[in-house]
Amino acid sequence: MSVVAHAHPNIALIKYWGKSAQPGNIPAVPSLSVTLNTLTTTTEVMEADTDAFSLNGVPTTDPKVARCLANLRQRFALPPLAVRSSNNFPTAAGLASSASGFAALVTAVDAFCGLGLGPAERSELARQASASAARSVFGGIVALAGPAWQGRPLLDPGDWPVAVVIAVTDTSSKAVSSTEGMRLSATSPYFSGWVESAGADFDAALAAVEARDFAALAELAERSCLKMHGLMLATRPPLLYWNPTTLACLHRIRALRQRGADVFFTVDAGPQVKAICLPGSRDDVVRELTAIPGVTQVLSAGLGPGAWVQ
Ligand code: PMV
């Protein structure tokens, strides 16, 4: 007897970076993201003699997984569980595998143990493990903001046919995890400016999504991304997640937009570049990014659903 759940990574257009002082892994800033469809985490949960975790077929220990289960056990009596998780995309390389991973884990445990949690509660539990995971419980375009700090769906996947093209430039695991990077970011002189200005970016992005205003969203999302990387660069020691290919992709996407394509970029705590575009520009974006030396793979996705049980 086992239960299998699936969840997709999400890509933030208005970034979360930094934690508030409150307990419960509460972000310092609100965020807004798109949940993808073709990249998937599949997680199977079954009863076992002791807790065990495997990732992509390899038995491993992950303190965040252990903490997530311990957190669930504070509220529910769970048996020892074997958790088998796999991703059909590069893991821990800035492609949001922890977001889909914890959304799938909480969803699978909920179904296997019959906890009867609603999506908002699963989102809150996923957030406590990895804040971006709160957003992957939901599909389409999703907000994560206070005071509840549970994911909130803004648009369903079919409401606005946005495409996401991912240029993979390096699949090795990242040098500094997002948890450690966020901890270090308190040393950045720009951190307070980041927190102070985040609410206005978030509110403007909500309005742009509501109005389906792609040009406005493009400007806000690129600014949020570059602001986050600016504060990372000024952290001690500096956090530089980009490589030369990352930068080449950003310039190519800006040039494409100047030629009339509906596309903008975003980059997370890793060197991959995510190009968000409207369907009419997607083929051009795929062709242009594929042609950049150093781009090893181009992945294409649309908007997808929230976490679900098979
Ligand atoms: O939730 P975490 O610890 O995986 O952090 C995610 C941080 C970013 O991906 C850089 C931004 C975001 O909002 O997803």
Residues in the chain, overall count:
310
Is the beta carbon of 202 within 6 A of some atom in ligand 1? no
> What is each CA distance from 135 to 8, 249, 261, 263, in whole angstroms?
10, 26, 28, 23
Q: How far is the CA of 132 from the centre of ligand 1 (A)?
A: 5
Question: Can you tell me which residue has the tokens 């009339």?
Answer: 260
Question: What's residue 112's pLDDT?
Answer: 98
Instruction: Render each residue's pLDDT in the chain as its tens digit; 310 residues.
Output: 999 999 999 999 999 999 999 999 999 999 999 999 999 999 999 999 999 999 999 999 999 999 999 999 999 999 999 999 999 987 766 677 899 999 999 999 999 999 999 999 999 999 999 999 999 999 999 999 999 999 999 999 999 999 999 999 998 866 798 999 999 999 999 999 999 999 999 999 999 999 999 999 999 999 999 999 999 999 999 999 999 999 999 999 999 999 999 999 999 999 999 999 999 999 999 999 999 999 999 999 999 999 999 9
How far away, in angstroms, is 259 Cα from ligand 1 center? 31
**Who contacts 147 (Cβ-Cβ below 8 Å, separation ≥6)?**
none
In testing the pocket of ligand 1, which one of 19, 132, 224 has its CB within 8 Å of the most ligand atoms? 132
Per-residue CA distances from 141 to 110, 120, 137, 301 (Å): 24, 15, 11, 14
Specify the pLDDT at position 96: 75
pLDDT reported for residue 97 = 84
| Residue 35 neighbours by CB under 8 Å, 6+ apart | 8, 9, 10, 135, 136, 138, 139, 140, 141, 142, 157, 303, 304, 305, 306
What the block records as the tokens of 229 is 């990387």
User: Which residue's alpha carbon is nearest to atom 6 within ligand 1?
Assistant: 132
Q: Is 268 in the pocket of ligand 1 (CB under 6 A)?
A: yes
pLDDT for 144-194, tens place per residue? 999 999 999 999 999 999 999 999 999 886 679 899 999 999 999 999 999
Atom of ligand 1 nearest to the CA of 133: 1
Q: Which is the closest atom of ligand 1 to the Cα of 31?
A: 13
Residue 185, ligand 1, Cβ within 6 A: no
